[in-house]
Structure 1
């Protein structure tokens, strides 16, 4: 067990958005109950499940011990909106995102909390920590010990430019502090992926730090909302076909642009208080950077997409 002293007083909020999760949710809750760090509370919002998800939660020992609270049960929100309303109940200093079909390694919370507190410093700078994860099948048999070892996504992502085309990081691996939550809220309605928005804002305002351990067993199955993307090794023909997806990626960039620029305007930040990197990112979204400048930035960026496809998109920004 990791040495923890002052962190013992810091409660962690775990945001768990559920929907028809009866098949695996008992195993998830058991893995939370077995964490080496126990000062946490699980916040559940359910999107109108038709199965026994809520009944299972209410019967679990975490609920009986007052460590699991069920806040809302109305449906029709969708995965992202359901997570957003779950986050609204997270008021404690640290927040971890949780998927209903995962299994947590016993030291996950403890290691993530120690790392977060170390990186945020005494000034509580907006900070997000993410870890690796194991890809497993429905019975928790390991398919890959490392997500990033077999994915097109990169654990070296840390700047807002790295998150322009896509999100590298599964939300279930994230822990962040309340300081970050204060700056990423409200999450724009038109931004369809809550975890992408959270880490984009973390990269812009604060710190995104990788913890090089697989602390979650992530089930790969037919009912995943997103799944572990980018795992298959593409053939040459598949790569050429991928390039044809540039219009789809441009639409995603447009979503970032339409959400981020109004967000910055609402913050009413004085230009002189922005760093050079922040100014360049805003200029990029406002189409103020010439091609030479864009390609200079691109050369230092990890995009999370096929490199040729990413190059084409950056040329067209």
Structure 2
């Protein structure tokens, strides 16, 4: 088994050395480090070059001709990797020394396509902020047994390289978190593919310190229960319908991949499309609860029908989950439809 690390850099001189040092201190060293730099204008490339000269594993450094942005840059880096498995790596985090060893052990099951673990959120000086970026309950889950929608973070992933090398990522569905964003991120896409095509292993312990600072491309903001409820109450019909439309895009994407990969792989894509089609129906029914032209009595009746049909079942079984039921009930009871 060979494991590659796909590292993307862009003006990362401030924290890059600490991340590189944590790679060199792994108890199970990576078999290679592939770096794609997105046009840094600081000392990033100098730091990488010096590290490559003394690293205890091969280092490839690629400088992009034009800026790709983080998502496409990660896809490019992963596609250049030669290992059997790939670990996404941010330029500003720090890995626990046993990260790769712990993840490699989970691939003893050949059907495992993705290993994920929690991450500890820290400040710019690596001091804990008291938050953990969690993953589902530890253990190995069968195909389509993980939540269909889960906010996966690349820093927590090691995955089978063929998910990038054999499957075209250009037809990804939209990012469900942001209407104005490009297609879904590299980490979300890998999660979706792994859930449809094989098993996912979830480890219990945080194996990365996820550094928060003033130049994060993405971060881990803390949201209180009050804030989460306020978001639900102000989401409105347009937002709920948007989520249903995104689910429909997932269906179309999976059906397209099934046509590209006839045979057993295509059959799994079709099964995935069927699962997302069920989700689309539930989300479309949920959106009706937020229609501004319906009164509270009609909304309540629709909510009862959706609940009675299992629409709010467990998220890892394709349902909307109990929290969605609570949010929708609060929305209707408080009369905040708009």
User: Structure 1 length as normaliser, TM-score?
Assistant: 0.77
CA distance in 2, matches of 1:293, 1:304: 12
Structure 1 contact 14–95 (Cα < 8 Å) conserved: yes
Structure 1 contact 246–309 (Cα < 8 Å) conserved: no
Match of 2:315 in 1: 301
Following superposition, the deviation at residue 61 of structure 1 comes to 5.3
Equivalenced residues, count = 291
Return 5+ residue gaps in structure 2 as ranges.
173-182, 286-304, 330-338
Match of 2:99 in 1: 108
SS for the counterpart of 1:55 is: helix
CA distance in 2, matches of 1:13, 1:61: 15
**243-252 or 28-37, which deviates more:** 243-252
CA distance in 1, matches of 2:184, 2:125: 30
Say yes or no: does 1:169 pair with 2:161. Answer: no
CA distance in 2, matches of 1:297, 1:238: 21
Match of 1:267 among 254, 261, 279: 261
Match of 1:240 among 228, 233, 237: 233
Match of 1:6 in 2: none
When residues 259 and 67 of structure 1 are mapped into structure 2, their CA distance, relative to the original with a 3 A threshold, is same
Following superposition, the deviation at residue 248 of structure 1 comes to 4.6
Structure 2 contact 3–84 (Cα < 8 Å) conserved: yes
Following superposition, the deviation at residue 224 of structure 1 comes to 1.9
Structure 1 contact 15–96 (Cα < 8 Å) conserved: yes
Following superposition, the deviation at residue 257 of structure 1 comes to 3.4
CA distance in 2, matches of 1:308, 1:293: 10
Following superposition, the deviation at residue 54 of structure 1 comes to 1.1
Match of 1:25 in 2: 16
When residues 112 and 234 of structure 1 are mapped into structure 2, their CA distance, relative to the original with a 3 A threshold, is same
Following superposition, the deviation at residue 154 of structure 1 comes to 4.4
When residues 285 and 304 of structure 1 are mapped into structure 2, their CA distance, relative to the original with a 3 A threshold, is closer
Match of 2:334 in 1: none
SS for the counterpart of 1:88 is: helix
SS for the counterpart of 1:296 is: coil
The aligned runs of 1:105-254 (5 Å cut-off) are 105-117=96-108, 120=109, 124-144=110-130, 146-148=132-134, 154-155=136-137, 160=144, 163-164=147-148, 166-181=149-164, 185-190=167-172, 191-228=183-220, 231-235=222-226, 236-242=229-235, 245-254=239-248
Q: Say what the alpha-carbon RMSD is for the aligned residues.
A: 3.6
SS for the counterpart of 1:32 is: helix
When residues 34 and 75 of structure 1 are mapped into structure 2, their CA distance, relative to the original with a 3 A threshold, is same
Following superposition, the deviation at residue 182 of structure 1 comes to 5.0
Following superposition, the deviation at residue 21 of structure 1 comes to 1.1
When residues 289 and 71 of structure 1 are mapped into structure 2, their CA distance, relative to the original with a 3 A threshold, is closer
CA distance in 1, matches of 2:266, 2:311: 21
When residues 195 and 258 of structure 1 are mapped into structure 2, their CA distance, relative to the original with a 3 A threshold, is same
CA distance in 2, matches of 1:48, 1:305: 45
User: Structure 2 length as normaliser, TM-score?
Assistant: 0.73
More RCO (CA 8 Å, sep 6+)? 1
Structure 1 contact 128–180 (Cα < 8 Å) conserved: no
**245-254 or 255-264, which deviates more:** 245-254
When residues 289 and 61 of structure 1 are mapped into structure 2, their CA distance, relative to the original with a 3 A threshold, is closer
Match of 2:291 in 1: none
Say yes or no: does 1:280 pair with 2:277. Answer: no
